[in-house]
C-alpha cells in the first residue's frame, strides 16, 4: 500500500516539476535570444541611416571609420553593400566572401524585401547570427547593410540559465520525493499502528490496544472494530486459561487417587500380576504427563517441552503393545515394523500423545481382519513415525482437510469421534517443530507420518 501511495503521489509531482522546469528553460532561452535579436535590429537601424548618407554621397569614408570602431569595440561585424551587391564598407576585411546563406539574404535585401529574423535555435548551435536590412532612398533600394554578431555570449548565458534550472529542478524533485515519503508515512501511520498492535497480540500481549481518537474517520471505525475484536479475544483466552486451571484441578486429583488405588490393590496381588501393575502405573504416569502437556498448550498455545534422548522404534513398539488389546477387540492386528533403533532428541510425551491420536484414528476406522502397521525410520533430514492402515482411505480433496478441527469424512457413518484426533496431533507436533503428513496410498487406506526434526543422538 505504501508503494502505491508513493507512486500515486510521486509520478504526478515529478511530471509537474519537469513540465514547469522545461517551460521555464524554454522561456529563459527565448528571452535571451529575443534580447539578442532586438539589439541586432537596433544596430541595423543605426547603420541603415549612416549607410544611406554614405551611399548618397558616393564616399565610404563617412561610414568606414564608424564600422571599424564598432567591430573593434563590440566585436560586431557590419558590412554595407551597394546596389550591385559589392562590399561598400566593412569592418571585417574578409567580408568579400560570404556564406551561401548570408549571400542569399543580401540578394533578398537588395531586391527590396526584408529578411525574416532567423528562428531561435535551442540552445544555439550556429557560430554567429547575421541580419540584413535593405537601404531605401525615396522608396528605391540603393544598398543593404548586414550586421553579424558572435552568439557565444548569449549561448553561454542560455547554458548558465539551463544549469541553474536543472539544479533547481533536481533539488525540487528531491524535496518532492521527501515530501511524498513523509506524506505516505503520515497517511499510513494509523494503519501502521494497527499492524503493530496485531503483531503484539500475536506475540501474546493481549492487552494491546490502539487509540481511537487518531487517524482519519474511515480508520477510526476500523480501530474501534479492532479494539472490540481484541477485547473478545482476550475474554476468550481468559476463559480458556480459567478452564485449563479448573481442568488441572479437577482431573489431576482423580488421577492421583486412581494411581493410589492401584498401588493399594497391588499389595494384595501375587507376583504374577506384577507386570500388569507396572504397566498400569506407567500408563497412569503417562496420562499425568499428557495432561500437563495439554494444559500447557491450552494456557499459552505451546507446551513446556522436555527434551531427552528417545528411541522412536522402542517408543513405537511400546505404543503398539498398549493398543494391541483395543485393536484385538475390533478384530484388527496392530504391529510394529521398525527395523532398528532410531535415536532422536525430542519431547517424549508430545511424540507419544501425537502417535496415540494417529493410532486411535487408524484403529477406529480400519475394518475387521485388517492390519495397522506402525514404523520408525530416519531420512537424510528428518525422522519419521508412520502409521499405515487399510481402511476406506480418503480422496485427494479430503486429505487436504483431514487435519482440520472437527472435520469428519462423510463415509465414517456412525463411527464415534469428534474430528479432533489428527488436529490435536498436528498442534502437538507443531509445538516441537514437527509436522503431520497425511497421504492416501494407491493400494487404499491411509498413511500418516509424524515428521520430526532430526535432532539425532549418536
Residue 15 pLDDT exceeds 70: yes
Average pLDDT rounded to a whole number, residues 330-339:
90
Single out the residue of 375, 384, 389, 280 nearest to residue 320, CA to CA: 375
Single out the residue of 352, 348, 351, 288 nearest to residue 321, CA to CA: 352
pLDDT band at 458 (very low <50, low <70, confident <90, very high): very low
**HSE-up of residue 395 (Cα within 13 Å, Cβ side):** 6
Which residues lie closer than 8 Å to 285 by C-beta, 6 or more apart? 259
Residue 348 pLDDT exceeds 50: yes
pLDDT band at 245 (very low <50, low <70, confident <90, very high): low
Most confident range (mean pLDDT) of 59-68, 114-123, 320-329 is 320-329
Distance set, CA 145 to CA 39, 122, 406 (Å): 15, 27, 104
Average pLDDT rounded to a whole number, residues 283-310:
68
Per-residue pLDDT of 298-314, as tens digits, reads 555 555 567 889 999 99
122-131, 173-182, 259-268, 376-385: which has the minimum mean pLDDT?
Answer: 122-131
Q: Which three cell numbers stand for residue 109?
A: 535585401
pLDDT at 121: 52
Per-residue pLDDT of 350-406, as tens digits, reads 898 889 889 988 898 888 889 999 999 988 778 999 999 988 888 888 888 888 877
Average pLDDT rounded to a whole number, residues 165-174:
85
Q: Say if residue 372 is preceded by a cis peptide, omega within 30 of 0.
A: no
What's the predicted TM-score (pTM) here?
0.48
3-state secondary structure of 385: strand
Amino acid at each position: 500500500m505504501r508503494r502505491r501511495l508513493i507512486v500515486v503521489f510521486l509520478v504526478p509531482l515529478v511530471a509537474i516539476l519537469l513540465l514547469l522546469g522545461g517551460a521555464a528553460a524554454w522561456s529563459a532561452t527565448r528571452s535571451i535570444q529575443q534580447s539578442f535579436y532586438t539589439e541586432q535590429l537596433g544596430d541595423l537601424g543605426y547603420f541603415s541611416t549612416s549607410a544611406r548618407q554614405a551611399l548618397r554621397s558616393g564616399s565610404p569614408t563617412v561610414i568606414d571609420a564608424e564600422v571599424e570602431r564598432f567591430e573593434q569595440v563590440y566585436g560586431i561585424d557590419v558590412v554595407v553593400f551597394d546596389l550591385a551587391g559589392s562590399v561598400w564598407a566593412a569592418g571585417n576585411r574578409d567580408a568579400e566572401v560570404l556564406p551561401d546563406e548570408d549571400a542569399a539574404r543580401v540578394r533578398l535585401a537588395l531586391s527590396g524585401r526584408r529578411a525574416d529574423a532567423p528562428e531561435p535555435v535551442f540552445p544555439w548551435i550556429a557560430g554567429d547570427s547575421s541580419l540584413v536590412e535593405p537601404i531605401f532612398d525615396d522608396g528605391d533600394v540603393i544598398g543593404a547593410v548586414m550586421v553579424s554578431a558572435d552568439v557565444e555570449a548569449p549561448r553561454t548565458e542560455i547554458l548558465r540559465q539551463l544549469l541553474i534550472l536543472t539544479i533547481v529542478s533536481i533539488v525540487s524533485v528531491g524535496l518532492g520525493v521527501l515530501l511524498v515519503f513523509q506524506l505516505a508515512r503520515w497517511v499510513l501511520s494509523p494503519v501502521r499502528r494497527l499492524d503493530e498492535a496485531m503483531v503484539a497480540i500475536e506475540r501474546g500481549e493481549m492487552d494491546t490496544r490502539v487509540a481511537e481518537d487518531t487517524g482519519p474517520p474511515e480508520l477510526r471505525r476500523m480501530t474501534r472494530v479492532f479494539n472490540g475484536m481484541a477485547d473478545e479475544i482476550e475474554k476468550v483466552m481468559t476463559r480458556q486459561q480459567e478452564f485449563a486451571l479448573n481442568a488441572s484441578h479437577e482431573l489431576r486429583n482423580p488421577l492421583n487417587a486412581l494411581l493410589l488405588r492401584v498401588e493399594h490393590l497391588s499389595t494384595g496381588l501375587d507376583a504374577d500380576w506384577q507386570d500388569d501393575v507396572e504397566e498400569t502405573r506407567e500408563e497412569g504416569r503417562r496420562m499425568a504427563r499428557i495432561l500437563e502437556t495439554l494444559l500447557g498448550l491450552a494456557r499459552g498455545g505451546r507446551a513446556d517441552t522436555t527434551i531427552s534422548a528417545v528411541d522412536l522404534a522402542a517408543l513405537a513398539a511400546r505404543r503398539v503393545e498398549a493398543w494391541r488389546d483395543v485393536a484385538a477387540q475390533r478384530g484388527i492386528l496392530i504391529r510394529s515394523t521398525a527395523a532398528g533403533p532410531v535415536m532422536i532428541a525430542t519431547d517424549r510425551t508430545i511424540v507419544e500423545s501425537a502417535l496415540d491420536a494417529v493410532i486411535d484414528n487408524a484403529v477406529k476406522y480400519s475394518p475387521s481382519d485388517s492390519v495397522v502397521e506402525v514404523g520408525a525410520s530416519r531420512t537424510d533430514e528428518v525422522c519419521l513415525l508412520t502409521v499405515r492402515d487399510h481402511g476406506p482411505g480418503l480422496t485427494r480433496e479430503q486429505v487436504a482437510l483431514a487435519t482440520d478441527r472437527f472435520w469428519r469424512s462423510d463415509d465414517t457413518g456412525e463411527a464415534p469421534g469428534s474430528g479432533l484426533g489428527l488436529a490435536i496431533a498436528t498442534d502437538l507436533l507443531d509445538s516441537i517443530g514437527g509436522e503431520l503428513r497425511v497421504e492416501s496410498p494407491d493400494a487404499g487406506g491411509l498413511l500418516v507420518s509424524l515428521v520430526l526434526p532430526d535432532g539425532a543422538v549418536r
